[in-house]
Structure 1
Amino acid sequence: MGFAEKRGNYWRGRFKTAPGKYGTVSDQVGDVIKFDTKRDAKRAADLAEANAAKQAPRPRADLRITFGEYVRSWYARQDLAASTMQNYRRHIENHLLPAFEETPLVELVSEGVDLWEKKERAAGYAASSIKTWRSTLHLILSDAEAEGRMSSNPATKRRGRGRRAGRRRNRGPEKVFTDMRGVLLIAERAAMLSGRDDEFVAVVTKGTTGMRFGELVGLETEYVRRNSIRVEWQLYELDSGELTRVPPKDDSYRTIDAPDFLSDLLTAHIVATKPKPCACHGRTYLFSGHRPANGAASAPGPKLLDVARLAEVSTGTVSNVLNRPEMVPEGTRAKVADAVAQLGYVRGGPKPGQLAPHWRRSGFATWLFHPAASGWYPRAAPQPARPVPILGGTFPGVPARGRGAVSRADACWTSIATGLTPHGLRHSHKTMMEEMGVPKKLQDDRMGHADGSVQARYSHITAAMRQRLMDDLTAQWETALRARRAMSSGSPVRALDALLRAV
């Protein structure tokens, strides 16, 4: 894109002629054209840049290079966040290479890409996932086109073609959200499933601040302050199992106002648990994991990551070969099997009595949050999905454990919000703020969103706005506590029991 440059009392048009080099819009004899308006200069610069691009010599495409060869060199050239690199690698290895690896770039056509997308839909993948994979393919082939290896990008969506499905094809499942009472009840159940208060405090914190899961897991005690939480870091889980400390998504550093009830809850939690620095990062985090630690990281011998490096695949692909081999192409399975044999890799197991220093996204969602929200344990082969059996001595019922749990149970939990996810609490908090009439500027500030519109530039957050939000959140919390106390005056969860007795 060209641009206009102010020069005294006139504008001139500037456009890119080569990487790092720019030219100026000139007449036939080489004199700079002086424009009266910025718009005219910009238009002329855009036209000049387009003409220069057409006249520039294009490198001769290597007709022998395949998609697989090109995409590996393309991936090696990228220098992006670890999470983005991990996602690209998943898309490439699990969905793009199986379909296009041996196809020469110049033979890739739109019909082939459309057929691949149709097969992915037939395989049962979500429309949103397929759209993401096609976007990655489009990005890769756009770079190949810019390098002169292709005359056009076959992954570009053509308008007005195919069956007219409107929004049906791209629609996802209905997003589930809840209110403050739902947050409270789910937090109580999650704590009963884990057998400690950490999950109660964490779910309440997430539901009343809208923090992302990585920000919650990566919340260090030094950033928990009276009436505020500072978001400076998150812990992002890589395919290797490593939790890496990175800035929050989109650099959304922010200070989240915390009402008195939340500050009191967090302070009491720190006093009760006395968090210590973790061995993996050497930092003191507010919350810790609840399940036995995976001993693979500290076990002697080669690791899963070593197998992935030798086989030149991602750790997610190695995990699929070990756990779900039918999902991986035969050639890739053979490479991984050779690497396993060559290294003598042995899968590690948990160390008895040692808890993981941090939650894992899948473990927290699968075995704590989803059963608490829906009342059902997930399917775990060979066992099907099943209701959470409970002993009915105290409300809301203590989950029955061990052999014969179902026969010993008095009842099972009913659903609070089936389909709600941990990220759904972020949607829930945003919806609560909408319902309370919180100004959009304050909503974005709290959620870590950026609004680049002109309207947002002229809107500002006042102390009165912040205080009104804190008052409204407190009122909703007290209403939820009273509703819970009406169900039962006490709770097996110590933190909640103290709150109920104070109502």
Structure 2
Amino acid sequence: MGYAENAGTYWRGRYKSASGKLETVRDQITGKPVHFETRRDAKRAADRAEADDAEQAPQARNADTDRWMTFGAYARSWYARQDLAASTMQNYRRHIENHLLPTFEDSVMRAITAEDVDHWEKAERKAGYAEASIKTWRGTLHLLCEDAQTDGIVISNPATKRRGRGKRAGRGRTRRPEKVIANILNLILIAERASLLSGRDDEFVGLVVKGATGMRWGELVGLESLYVRPDSIRVEWQLYELDTGEFVRCPPKDDSYRTIDMPEFLACLIAEHINRVNPKSCKCHGRKYVFSGHRPANKAARAPGAKLVDVARLADVSTGTVSNVLNRPDSVPEPTRVRVMAAITELRYVRGGPPPGELAPHWRRSGFATWLFQPAATGWFPQAAPNPPRPVPVLGEPWPGVPARGRGASGRADACWLPIAAGLTPHGLRHSHKTEMDEMGVPAKLKDDRMGHADGSVGARYSHITAAMRQALCDGLTERWIAALHARRDLSPRSPVGVLDRLLRAL
């Protein structure tokens, strides 16, 4: 019998096919899962689909077809059957297209061996990819082959790795560097520099909110003004950025809905920010978000026609290579340039430009980290071909130095920034906040609640959060904030960043 599955804002019809695999009721024309408004409609549709499948199912599978099915053919059919969150579908597609198909696409599924998979893994490692990334890609390969085994395409899963086999002793080979963290004074200094780089106060407030609450990046970007309360922030949604540039509004990771208590200083800071910017409804979601982008909006992702990423896929190159062909053709080898131009002609790709005077509605993860956060934390701009990494040129007065802009900025600059926390990332601020709470002795139950983590142990079940715990946490954060502001004032009593200058003068 079929059944209805609750998908949040709609219902899906699910049933078992004749092969025993769980399927979703799909539209016969588009092939997309059908969204039902009521549970009853989804259940009825699932029952009908199960009955139709039983009548139309062949009595025996075509063994010859299965025996010679290639990895590429099965991977594409497997991906088309998935009905998951947009972020998960994007990740699966990236793993398959960029890392699995280049090696296994033309290989017969039954001919792929564990040795082939190990050779692929070694090649990925030799190419310089991180161990964590390789592990993730192998996990996708294992999942795909597991379903192929269920479908009878393969006899055994070649991606299965027996524990402790085929690896060196110890964990030194796969151990990653310790995550870089920052204290509250570091947070203030980095946020001040980021605000100077963007030319507005928003980045200072945003980074302080992230560092003092431990919010995930998507939760910060997707924070709506209606969920900011006088003494807390309610995490109900996040904005997930897809490769196409589109922002998908979805629940927080692992459904970690929660209320984050705010100390008085943070509540005043964010309330002042909201009153100053007076958020307007964005065109993409029609909702008022607390923070907005710092660069001109790029409407290319919403424009009709082929996108830059489509050209890159057809030409089998990266999006950066396509950009170089369009902007710096002399830096690209002739055969690659010809292939990219042919893809542009075939797809009729038309370049789009940013609309003048309009800022992007949301921060973009890569742009924010590359051109604001990393220069603020390290004092260096990243490599931008054909230019190598370079120090941020600044005018030394007023302290901590204002970035020099425009043509000849490096020649007019008389100083540069020293690194504050080299290797720190925006996500590292989440690690930093957790460490701050560890130092303050915050109870584990409250730390997990604030970070959006779940502890399923018996000990956690018998532990509870009280108002006194919450108040002690806010008091501890306030004490550290005031001490950090005093330390910042000792470096210089004023700041070119307006919101920080007001805080320093208030001391």
Give TM class, smaller chain: 0.7 to 0.9
State the partner residue of 1:328: none
User: Which residue, 147, 150, 153 being the options, matches 1:143?
Assistant: 147
Residues 308 and 319 in structure 2, CA contact (< 8 A), matched pair in contact too: no
Instruction: Name the SS of the counterpart of 1:293 in structure 2.
Output: coil
Cα distance, 1:306 vs. partner? Answer: 9.3
Cα distance, 1:293 vs. partner? Answer: 1.1
Within 2, Cα distance between the matches of 1:412 and 1:280? Answer: 38
Aligned amino acid, residue 188 of structure 2: L
Q: How does 1:36-435 map to 2 (within 5 A)?
A: 60=63, 62-297=66-301, 299=303, 301-304=304-307, 307=310, 319=319, 322-323=322-323, 340-435=344-439
State the partner residue of 2:4: none
**For residues 236 and 199 of structure 1, do their structure 2 counterparts lie closer, same or farther at Cα, with a shift above 3 Å needed?**
same
Aligned amino acid, residue 307 of structure 2: L
Residues 318 and 336 in structure 1, CA contact (< 8 A), matched pair in contact too: no
Aligned amino acid, residue 346 of structure 2: Q
Aligned amino acid, residue 217 of structure 2: F
Residues 227 and 260 in structure 1, CA contact (< 8 A), matched pair in contact too: yes
Residues 219 and 239 in structure 2, CA contact (< 8 A), matched pair in contact too: yes
Aligned amino acid, residue 398 of structure 1: V
Within 1, Cα distance between the matches of 2:110 and 2:302? Answer: 47
Residues 218 and 245 in structure 1, CA contact (< 8 A), matched pair in contact too: yes
**For residues 108 and 334 of structure 1, do their structure 2 counterparts lie closer, same or farther at Cα, with a shift above 3 Å needed?**
farther
Within 2, Cα distance between the matches of 1:192 and 1:259? Answer: 25
Cα distance, 1:284 vs. partner? Answer: 0.6
Q: Over residues 17-66 of structure 1, what are the superposed CA-to-partner deviations in whole Å (9 max), with x where a residue is unaligned?
A: x9599xxxxxxxxxxxxxxxxxxxxxxxxxxxxxxxxxxx9995711100
Instruction: Name the SS of the counterpart of 1:474 in structure 2.
Output: helix
State the partner residue of 1:498: 502
Aligned amino acid, residue 209 of structure 2: T
Aligned amino acid, residue 85 of structure 1: M
Residues 60 and 148 in structure 1, CA contact (< 8 A), matched pair in contact too: no
User: Which residue, 481, 486, 493 being the options, matches 1:482?
Assistant: 486
Aligned amino acid, residue 376 of structure 2: A
**For residues 317 and 451 of structure 1, do their structure 2 counterparts lie closer, same or farther at Cα, with a shift above 3 Å needed?**
farther
Residues 90 and 314 in structure 1, CA contact (< 8 A), matched pair in contact too: no
Aligned amino acid, residue 471 of structure 2: Q
Residues 235 and 245 in structure 1, CA contact (< 8 A), matched pair in contact too: yes
Instruction: Name the SS of the counterpart of 1:395 in structure 2.
Output: coil
Within 2, Cα distance between the matches of 1:333 and 1:75? Answer: 31
Cα distance, 1:148 vs. partner? Answer: 1.7
Q: Over residues 456-487 of structure 1, what are the superposed CA-to-partner deviations in whole Å (9 max), with x where a residue is unaligned?
A: 10000000000000000000000000000101
Within 1, Cα distance between the matches of 2:501 and 2:161? Answer: 56
Aligned amino acid, residue 151 of structure 2: E
Cα distance, 1:342 vs. partner? Answer: 3.3
Residues 308 and 322 in structure 2, CA contact (< 8 A), matched pair in contact too: no
Aligned amino acid, residue 195 of structure 1: G
Within 2, Cα distance between the matches of 1:298 and 1:76? Answer: 24
Aligned amino acid, residue 306 of structure 2: K
Aligned amino acid, residue 186 of structure 1: I
Cα distance, 1:95 vs. partner? Answer: 0.5
**Between 145-154 and 128-137, the greater mean CA deviation after superposition:** 145-154
Residues 240 and 316 in structure 1, CA contact (< 8 A), matched pair in contact too: no
Within 1, Cα distance between the matches of 2:399 and 2:309? Answer: 49
**For residues 195 and 147 of structure 1, do their structure 2 counterparts lie closer, same or farther at Cα, with a shift above 3 Å needed?**
same
**Between 184-193 and 160-169, the greater mean CA deviation after superposition:** 160-169
Instruction: Name the SS of the counterpart of 2:358 in structure 1.
Output: strand
Cα distance, 1:373 vs. partner? Answer: 0.8
Q: Over residues 194-233 of structure 1, what are the superposed CA-to-partner deviations in whole Å (9 max), with x where a residue is unaligned?
A: 0000000000000000000111011110011111001111
Cα distance, 1:160 vs. partner? Answer: 3.8
Cα distance, 1:303 vs. partner? Answer: 3.4
Residues 315 and 343 in structure 2, CA contact (< 8 A), matched pair in contact too: no
State the partner residue of 2:8: none
**For residues 346 and 65 of structure 1, do their structure 2 counterparts lie closer, same or farther at Cα, with a shift above 3 Å needed?**
same
Q: Over residues 71-120 of structure 1, what are the superposed CA-to-partner deviations in whole Å (9 max), with x where a residue is unaligned?
A: 00000111111000000000000000000000001100011110111111
Aligned amino acid, residue 71 of structure 2: F
Within 1, Cα distance between the matches of 2:366 and 2:73? Answer: 34
TM-score with structure 1 length normalisation? 0.83
Cα distance, 1:392 vs. partner? Answer: 1.0
Residues 58 and 147 in structure 1, CA contact (< 8 A), matched pair in contact too: no
Aligned amino acid, residue 288 of structure 1: S
Instruction: Name the SS of the counterpart of 1:138 in structure 2.
Output: helix
Cα distance, 1:174 vs. partner? Answer: 2.4
Cα distance, 1:410 vs. partner? Answer: 1.7
Bigger CA radius of gyration: 1
Instruction: Name the SS of the counterpart of 1:170 in structure 2.
Output: coil
TM-score with structure 2 length normalisation? 0.82
Aligned amino acid, residue 97 of structure 1: L
State the partner residue of 1:44: none
Residues 223 and 289 in structure 2, CA contact (< 8 A), matched pair in contact too: yes
Within 2, Cα distance between the matches of 1:82 and 1:498? Answer: 42
Within 2, Cα distance between the matches of 1:468 and 1:82? Answer: 39
Instruction: Name the SS of the counterpart of 2:297 in structure 1.
Output: strand
Aligned amino acid, residue 410 of structure 1: D
Residues 315 and 339 in structure 2, CA contact (< 8 A), matched pair in contact too: no
**For residues 364 and 394 of structure 1, do their structure 2 counterparts lie closer, same or farther at Cα, with a shift above 3 Å needed?**
same
Cα distance, 1:348 vs. partner? Answer: 1.5
Identity %: 66
